[in-house]
Chain A
């Protein structure tokens, strides 16, 4: 069960990185 939490923590990091990519891409379209 704890292992699953750690797995989700790793996937949350990847989700945050995808989010960062989208945010940076957004700034591109605004400028």
Chain B
């Protein structure tokens, strides 16, 4: 079975004219299906850049990247958008929900861009909200929800198109430790159900939940720790 993620000597350089910043200096990373991987590292280490490339939000400067068996380095913006839409579910630190749209519509949005019919969207979004435990909030605006609830909405949205991988960027960064743990519990549960999950964090406690930790330092992989089950 092909791995979900396979990168070879991935580099990313920002700027260019003399003041180039080399954010990534050759990343070789393979993530298998069903893995729960934590990317850790201090700020400025390049882990956010790596996450952006792995999430197909950005393209690498050099190197190759195969996602779900498909070469994605050098793909056009529209093709990357299609992959993001259908294969990757994003969960961000600050939720990134549309503030004026209802919870239900936020969850429906990825399906809108995937061309799912209106009724089907509604049905699946309602189902997803039940799955993350907040079906009663469907009609409300995100601003009426607590941080933990908002992150659940974000998770429901990430799951909308049944992606092959969930990508979470500091998903508990804005939450207190109790709700943070509840949200992490959702991720663990999703992992147990067989989802591939990639979490970016600087919190070692959170990272310890993952089945593997990869540490980034100065744009390189500094170490990889497998959790002994």
Q: Do A and B come from one complex?
A: no
